[in-house]
């Protein structure tokens, strides 16, 4: 069960500054411009979903925000500081990225991997685990429904279980900014809901790439739609998820309305050339 607050000491983002500012961000990878002049200002404490088709630049945008990918032009500022100028440990105490790739976790137990999230908080390289580290790791394991997996080698876990480990590791970092790269793509429906509800409840600034447009419309305060490295739409759902925008970005037709009763956003997607079946 996802109960309790896994990171009760998470620092609050400064209220007078946006948490993340992306300015004219361009990123060339090989012979391809993965991002072309992206501008984005993300308010502290908001949940932003980044949407777009395969190859539209979502992961590259998160990697630039996390300082893992140097832009060809432009800047990313975290709480007012250029990420490229922040020491890795300082950046890691402010921002955590849950990446899709779990290769770095192989060969370690689940608890050890979640514990890696605490490294940025250690007094020194050889400093051991503190009581607070241990308590934070235990809370994050519990929050992601992983307590029973703590001693298991990560390579023995399923795809969805591994994905929850990487989210727990990011939360153990106690960041004020949480970047999630397709956090729900391997998760069953119950865990999709519980993970998104959990990260929403923490009061963090969350920027998450998602493929599920309807889920994004329900969970996010704001959606940013990319296509070919450019922002095509940016705004509050459902207005920013209009059928015209969805058609332009994904090349599919959409009916966007609200569920009778719950009022939840409902998006019915179909190929342009008719019903799927
Ligand atoms: N190392 C690289 N060298 C060359 N091109 C790259 C490299 N990494 C990514 N790209 C290209 O950059 C573009 C953006 O990739 P990115 O991974 O950011 O897309 P994405 O929106 O996250 O896609 P997906 O939904 O498939 O995960 C793609 O066309 C991809 O092929």
What ipTM describes this predicted complex?
A: 0.98
Identify any residues that bridge with 40 across adjacent strands, giving them in sequence order.
22
Q: Is residue 126 part of a domain?
A: yes
**Residues near ligand 1 with C-beta < 6 Å?**
29-30, 32, 34, 52, 54-60
CATH at 54: 3.40.50.300
10 in a domain, yes or no? no
**Pocket-testing residue among 25, 26, 27, 58, ligand 1, by greatest number of atoms within 8 A of Cβ:** 58
Residue position matching structure tokens 């969970």: 219
* pLDDT score of 11 more than 50: no
The answer to whether position 6 is within a domain reads no
Q: Which of 51, 60, 101, 207 to mutate to test the pocket of ligand 1 (most atoms within 8 A of CB)?
A: 60
pLDDT at 103 over 60: yes
Span 209-236, pLDDT tens digits: 999 999 999 999 999 999 999 999 999 9
Quote the pLDDT of residue 14.
Answer: 43
- Asked whether the predicted pLDDT for residue 106 surpasses 90, the reply is no
Residue 247 lies in a domain: yes
5 pLDDT above the threshold of 50: no
- Give, using CA atoms, the residue closest to atom 8 of ligand 1: 29
Structural domain tally of the chain? 1
pLDDT at 125: 67
Residue 203 Cα to ligand 1 middle (Å): 30
pLDDT tens-place string over residues 133-142: 999 999 999 9
From atom 12 of ligand 1, which residue's Cα is the shortest distance away?
A: 34
Confirm whether 1 is domain-assigned. Answer: no
Across 255-271, average pLDDT: 92
134: containing domain: 20-271
- Which tokens in the block code for residue 258? 């609200």
CB atoms within 10 A of CB 252: 16
Q: Which of 26, 33, 34 best tests ligand 1's pocket when mutated (most atoms within 8 Å of CB)?
A: 34
- Alpha-carbon gap, residue 268 to 251, rounded angstroms: 14
Structure tokens at 222: 């704001």
* Nearest CA among 16, 19, 28, 50 for reference residue 249: 50
% of residues, the chain, pLDDT over 90: 83
Residue 50 resides in a domain: yes
Q: Alpha carbon of 84 to those of 90, 204, 264: distances in Å?
A: 11, 22, 40
Residue 230 CA, ligand 1 centroid: distance in Å: 13
Q: Is residue 4 part of a domain?
A: no
Q: What pLDDT, on the 0 to 100 scale, is given for residue 51?
A: 98
Judge contact between 200 and 184, C-beta under 8 A. no
2 occurs within a structural domain: no
């Amino acid at each position: 069960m996802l109960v309790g607050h896994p990171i009760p000491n998470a620092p609050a983002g400064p209220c007078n500054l946006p948490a993340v500012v992306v300015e004219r961000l361009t990123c060339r990878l090989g012979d391809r411009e993965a991002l072309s002049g992206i501008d984005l200002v993300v308010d502290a404490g908001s949940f932003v979903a980044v949407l777009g088709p395969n190859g539209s630049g979502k992961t590259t945008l998160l990697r630039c925000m996390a300082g893992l990918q140097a832009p060809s032009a432009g800047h990313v500022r975290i709480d007012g500081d250029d990420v490229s100028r922040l020491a890795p440990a300082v950046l890691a105490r402010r921002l955590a990225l849950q990446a899709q790739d779990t290769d770095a976790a192989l060969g370690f137990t689940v608890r050890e991997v979640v514990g890696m999230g605490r490294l940025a908080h250690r007094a020194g390289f050889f400093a051991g685990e503190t009581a607070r580290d241990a308590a934070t790791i235990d809370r994050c394991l519990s929050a992601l429904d992983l307590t029973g997996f703590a001693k298991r080698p990560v390579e023995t876990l399923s795809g969805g279980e591994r994905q929850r480990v990487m989210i727990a590791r990011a939360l153990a970092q106690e960041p004020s900014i949480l970047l999630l790269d397709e956090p729900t793509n391997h998760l069953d429906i119950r865990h999709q809901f519980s993970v998104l509800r959990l990260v929403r409840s923490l009061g963090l600034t969350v920027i998450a790439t998602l493929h599920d447009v309807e889920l994004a419309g329900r969970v996010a305060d704001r959606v940013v739609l990319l296509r070919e490295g450019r922002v095509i739409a940016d705004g509050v759902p459902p207005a920013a998820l209009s059928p015209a925008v969805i058609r332009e970005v994904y090349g599919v037709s959409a009916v966007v309305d609200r569920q009778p009763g719950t009022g939840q956003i409902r998006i019915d997607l179909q190929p342009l050339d008719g019903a799927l079946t």
